[in-house]
Structure 1
Amino acid sequence: MTSDTPEARSALRDSASRTLRLEQQAIAALVERLDAGFDRACELILACQGRVVVTGMGKSGHVAGKIAATLASTGTPAFFVHPGEASHGDLGMITPGDVVLALSNSGETAEVTALLPLLKRMKVPLISMTGRPASTLARHAEAHLDAGVEREACPLDLAPTASTTAALALGDALAVALLESRGFTAEDFALSHPGGSLGKRLLLRVGDLMHSGERLPRVALGSPLRDALLEITRQGLGFTCVVAPDGTLAGVYTDGDLRRTLDQHSDLSGLSVDAVMTRPGKRVSPETLAAEAVRLMEDHRISALAVVDEAGRPVGALHMHDLLASGVI
């Protein structure tokens, strides 16, 4: 039966549905097996003065790597160590202040169990995650996380499928429990994800993005409108600051103001910028979050903002294009 027949497509969907149901059941069964072992694992990690070293072989190793990454990004310093390499020098990456989280569905993986005597000698606490609570790895751990499944989603009951999904979900449950126990915040998350969109929204400030110095568009209060238009054109930010004699921001003149000026005045030659500028003009400080500047622009349907210091003196200019280029929006 070829794969482009209705019968074949139906069979493929039936197979996918069966797999998803089996994996869903495997995850649901974990809830009933959360016990004192999970509590103890959390206690060991919360008391850890070093890092959580996560290890596993084969498919369990791939899951272990993801768990280590999730822990590290949610406030629990962690990294992955390959158990085979650990026996050939990488064990030096583990220090007495660390905690080891070892994954093995069977609990008998040779490369992982080979580490047990060394970890005992170093007095490094061991947390195991296996599918067999009576296994060697589980019995030698200070805390055991039961990730066992009734059967794999693989129809041969051989390829790690439901078991790896269960282990991954249990690792997420551990990371989130630790996150909440530590009081980990969105700002904390942003600090470990400065390149992500959340990091940019919570970390980038107007002062990081603004145009300053010679790139700051400005004209003096009382200047001819022609000077303001030339400054807008020269700087290309769609507006100019209008500066009072004491150096403070008196107002702004924007592309929008120009359209209104053209509607209301047939002759621009005798106009000063004072007569047609917007007072006092929307403004932010360099310490304003870039995300807040976005909200201000959107609320007032403007594309640029003056940036002023504590005394109200213009120190920069921010355009919507700067926010787009930074990835804040």
Structure 2
Amino acid sequence: MPSSVMPTSRQGDGHLSTTAISAVGLRKSYGEKLVLDGIDLHIPAGSVFALLGPNGAGKTTAVKILSTLIAADAGELHVGGHDVAADPQAVRAAIGVTGQFSAVDGLITGEENMLLMADLHHLCKREGRRVAAELLERFDLVDAAKKPVSTYSGGMKRRLDLAMTLVGSPRIIFLDEPTTGLDPRSRHNMWAIIRGLVSDGVTVFLTTQYLDEADELADRIAVLNDGKIVAEGTAEELKRLVPGGHVRLRFTDPTAYQSAADALREVTRDDQALSLSIPSDGSQRELRSILDWLDSVGVEADELTVHTPDLDDVFFALTSGGNVPHQPQKDAR
């Protein structure tokens, strides 16, 4: 396969999708400390992939390796269809990287930072000014363009940093904890920017410690702990790994409530609220089973709500030795 062609992976529905980032057996140690212990990643193009893990889990190390900043000890790694070890220059030309610590120069203006980046990408002056102006407008930085970056807020610096990353029109972007330390409004603004990038077909590899961020943005999430991927899937799939999910039935008719409570075995009663909680993973199959059961006994609930563990529950269970079944990695190729 030519190095410039991205490999494809077969989805569950039989369709082929382009793989933007793949890693097989990625390993990295620092001295005797094993940071990444043979992890596998397969990330489709045009998607958001979130890598979660506690401090020191190896998230930033994975980003540095895949973006060619440091070398892996072992593993077959491809980014944008290019072999990371054999053709790092081609990888660098295909990607953009934005870290949690802004790389912008605070002594010059936002516009000057953008033009400097355009020069680094060998754009002519006219093209560089056009690209800089478009990105400054896109990231709502026009009014601050002539001001020194040292006067910018944290959120403005992050937006400028990401705008600089986009000067080279990368199709794959690594965002290493991009909203750390930002206020809620700035975080939501950054989320909107990321969604816009993905709608344009850009692939985003996101590391974050904010569980709501992964829940909001990511198509797939992997949890990294002790150098291994301990679980991977959609947010909903991961939530179902953790026990504690239940369906809550609420009644207004005390007789119907009592009939349902008497007929059900594994149920938690709340006599004051006239509600019953049934253990459930919230799957469509289980919900249909509960509804069929209600019909069979001639009882009608006034309200049915599904309660599942959130990603915080998943994260703590998977990274603190909780009793969660280990989910083996699946080969998505």
Q: TM-score, normalised by structure 2?
A: 0.27
Q: Which has the higher contact order (CA 8 A, sep 6+)?
A: 2
More helix by share: 1
More strand by share: 2
Q: TM-score, normalised by structure 1?
A: 0.27
Higher-Rg structure is 1
